[in-house]
Amino acid sequence: MVIIMIIPRIHNEKNTGSFFTLPLVIKTFCADDPGERAVGLFRYFVPQASFMKVNSRKDAQIIFECRYDLDITDEAYTISASSLPIIVRYRDFGGARNAAATIAQLLKRGGASYLFPNTEIEDAPDAKMRMILLDPARNLIPMPRMKDLLIMIAMAKFNFVHLHLSDSEGYAIKSDVVHFPGHYGLQYTKDEVREIVRFASMLGIECIPEVEFPGHGTTLVEEYPDTRCVPDITSDVTPTKWNMCAGSEETYRVLELLYTELAELFPGKLIHVGTDEIDMKDHPELVPTWHCCSRCREMCEREGIDPDNVTEVFYYMTRRVYKIITGLGKRMMLWNDNIDIAKTPELPRDILIDFWRIAAPNRGPREGCTYERFLEEGFEVVNCHFVETYVERNRLTDEQLSKWTPHNVPEHDPKYNRQILGGGPCAWDDPITSGHFEWSLPSSIMLFGDRLWNAAEYGYDSEYGRACSRWMFGIKTPADFNMFEAFGIFQQPRNIDGRRMWGNKAATDLAPTDAVLAQLENDYSVGGRLATAYRRSIKWLNEKRAENPDFN
Ligand SMILES: [Zn+2]
């Protein structure tokens, strides 16, 4: 028996090593809505193949069948393909979608028909929340590119996309209620946002919108001067623009307008409210000026808070914003680094903690703070620890990534694992200063999708490379083609100026890879467009080598 490898790797699969044939137009039957919707996704997952819905089971080669009585978890599915028809079972749309993504990779072109392996599959995700952060606040990803990314994200069986929509540079949405300009003047219209949400939802992905408070607030504070602290007459400190004023009602009025609009645009359950990097003593202009602001001091006196205690003032603001978010029927999610978790924080425990780091020196509470303390305090957590998940940082090696799961690092007592809902990669980006994600993001999506779905360790060998190549470029990819041999690493070029762009094993003769990609790019599909992007990266590498033969 040969193990059939697709991305993400299947949990349980038994095949005979043989194949049966399917016609070039594959007939599908489904008697339920989740199956109907999942079958509709074949045109995105495997655009080279033709599918036709039929009205009778006996005419179909693939039957999608929702079975609520099945003893399987959410998003799980089974595929029984020992003979025709192939029977696909699931109990929710997530399961049906995941099955469709699997079938799209199992199909092989065999002359005037398709080949499908004779196999029995049982598969389910290891992590409940499999998410990826995209950064439209700094990099307004054009709509067609956003759709390509969402298709790849769905193919890798992610179920959440975290959209970082606001930052100190601006807001990615053209709001009707708040004047909040975009970075480089670029913004999505609300209709475009609705289209992103609709397209993602069709693909089985929920969007989590993020608007930041109180830090990273420069643009908003400039637009709404009353959200800025006012200097106490006894102080000569210049009020910061980075952090919003904790004592000004204008702060909460503007935030409520933004979150209310956001809640209307995003039907999902979660709203992310930022809260990272609010006390950066290594940058004096980014330190809160709450202690010397007359409005903040007045609020602190009223609430019995020490105005010099940044943490307590931050908790007050967080509780105010929590009321706004829960009032909208949503669950609040936030970055963890300003919670002093060494002590029990006065914060509601149904806040979902997005763990990215224990604060760096001079950038927030550190002493006694650990990942495990959040779990011990009863919070649920998603793991986006920057060391293992920030894909723009050139730090991750293949070896490191091939072992990562949201449940193994940072260190913690495994008894808390059920509180770790998942995690995933973060693709922070400003296209002017980096601009590398056209090449690097697809491989990150694919590799993290695998780690989140299937926690079993697996070395990134050449069989894995061939499966990755098929995942990226589609079913016309030659069976023995491993594009990652050419690049020497699985995570693709990461930095446009060339620093640590390539593994030291990269092939010097890139012509064969270029030739296969040239054939594949004629397919009008995500895989074809990706082939074009990778051909450009090969051309770039060859130019660099022509300038400097030792370039790597
Ligand atoms: Zn203030």
Phi, psi (5° rounding) for residue 172? Answer: -80, -5
Q: Is 128:422 a contact under the CB 8 Å cutoff?
A: yes
Phi, psi (5° rounding) for residue 503? Answer: -75, 160
The pLDDT of residue 105 is 95
Phi, psi (5° rounding) for residue 35? Answer: -65, -45
pLDDT, tens only, 345-375: 999 999 999 999 999 999 999 999 999 999 9
Cα-to-centroid distance, 294 and ligand 1 (Å) = 7
Q: Is 382:131 a contact under the CB 8 Å cutoff?
A: yes
Query: Terminus-to-terminus CA distance in the chain, angstroms?
Result: 39
Residue 194's pLDDT band, with cuts at 50, 70 and 90, is very high
Nearest alpha carbon to residue 317 among 210, 177, 215, 179: 215
pLDDT at 542 over 90: no
List b or e across 91-101, with b for residues whose CB sees 16 or more CB atoms inside 10 angstroms: bbbbbbbbbbb
Enter the pTM of the model: 0.96
Average pLDDT of the chain, as a whole number: 93
Cα-to-centroid distance, 299 and ligand 1 (Å) = 9
**What percent of the residues of the chain are helix, what percent strand, and what percent coil, each to the nearest 5?**
35, 20, 45
The pLDDT of residue 71 is 87
Cα-to-centroid distance, 348 and ligand 1 (Å) = 24
pLDDT at 309 over 90: yes
pLDDT, tens only, 14-45: 999 999 999 999 999 999 999 999 999 999 99
The pLDDT of residue 496 is 53
Alpha-carbon distance of 413 to 375, in angstroms, equals 9
Phi, psi (5° rounding) for residue 312? Answer: -65, -40
How many other C-beta atoms can be found within 10 angstroms of the C-beta atom of residue 116?
A: 22
Q: DSSP label at 29? A: E
Cα-to-centroid distance, 357 and ligand 1 (Å) = 27
Cα-to-centroid distance, 383 and ligand 1 (Å) = 32
Alpha-carbon distance of 310 to 289, in angstroms, equals 9
Q: Is 49:115 a contact under the CB 8 Å cutoff?
A: no
Structure tokens at 303: 């609430």
Point out the least confidently predicted range of 114-123, 261-270, 498-507.
498-507
Phi, psi (5° rounding) for residue 21? Answer: -100, 145
Cα-to-centroid distance, 137 and ligand 1 (Å) = 25
How many other C-beta atoms can be found within 10 angstroms of the C-beta atom of residue 224?
A: 19
Cα-to-centroid distance, 192 and ligand 1 (Å) = 35
Cα-to-centroid distance, 309 and ligand 1 (Å) = 13
Mean per-residue pLDDT, 392-404: 81
Q: Is 244:217 a contact under the CB 8 Å cutoff?
A: yes
The pLDDT of residue 495 is 54
Q: Is 290:259 a contact under the CB 8 Å cutoff?
A: no
Alpha-carbon distance of 1 to 476, in angstroms, equals 24
Can you point out the beta strands (E) in 181-246? 206-213
Cα-to-centroid distance, 474 and ligand 1 (Å) = 55
Cα-to-centroid distance, 37 and ligand 1 (Å) = 50
Alpha-carbon distance of 221 to 245, in angstroms, equals 9
What residue type is 223 in one-letter code? E
The pLDDT of residue 250 is 98
The pLDDT of residue 498 is 44
Mean per-residue pLDDT, 311-335: 98
pLDDT, tens only, 144-174: 999 999 999 999 999 999 999 999 999 999 9
Mean per-residue pLDDT, 426-441: 75
Point out the least confidently predicted range of 51-65, 311-325, 429-443, 518-532.
429-443
Alpha-carbon distance of 455 to 434, in angstroms, equals 31
Q: How far is CA 521 from the centre of its chain?
A: 26
Q: Is 519:512 a contact under the CB 8 Å cutoff?
A: no
Alpha-carbon distance of 2 to 297, in angstroms, equals 69
Cα-to-centroid distance, 227 and ligand 1 (Å) = 8
Cα-to-centroid distance, 363 and ligand 1 (Å) = 20
Cα-to-centroid distance, 239 and ligand 1 (Å) = 8
Alpha-carbon distance of 399 to 23, in angstroms, equals 41
Instruction: Find all residues with CB under 8 Å of 185, minimum gap 6, and list them.
Output: none
Residue 433's pLDDT band, with cuts at 50, 70 and 90, is low
* Residues above pLDDT 70, as percent of the chain: 95
Q: Which pairing describes strands 420-423 and 426-427: parallel, antiparallel, or unpaired?
A: unpaired
Cα-to-centroid distance, 138 and ligand 1 (Å) = 27
Cα-to-centroid distance, 334 and ligand 1 (Å) = 22
Q: Which residue has the tokens 């699985």?
A: 490
Alpha-carbon distance of 165 to 136, in angstroms, equals 6
Cα-to-centroid distance, 246 and ligand 1 (Å) = 5
| Alpha helices for 307-385 (secondary structure H) | 310-327, 371-376
Residue 399's pLDDT band, with cuts at 50, 70 and 90, is confident
DSSP per-residue codes, 408-445: TSS---GGGGGGEEEE--EE---TTT---HHHHHHHHH
The pLDDT of residue 396 is 79
Q: Is 89:65 a contact under the CB 8 Å cutoff?
A: yes
Provide the CB-side half-sphere exposure for 33 (13 A, CA).
2
Cα-to-centroid distance, 175 and ligand 1 (Å) = 25
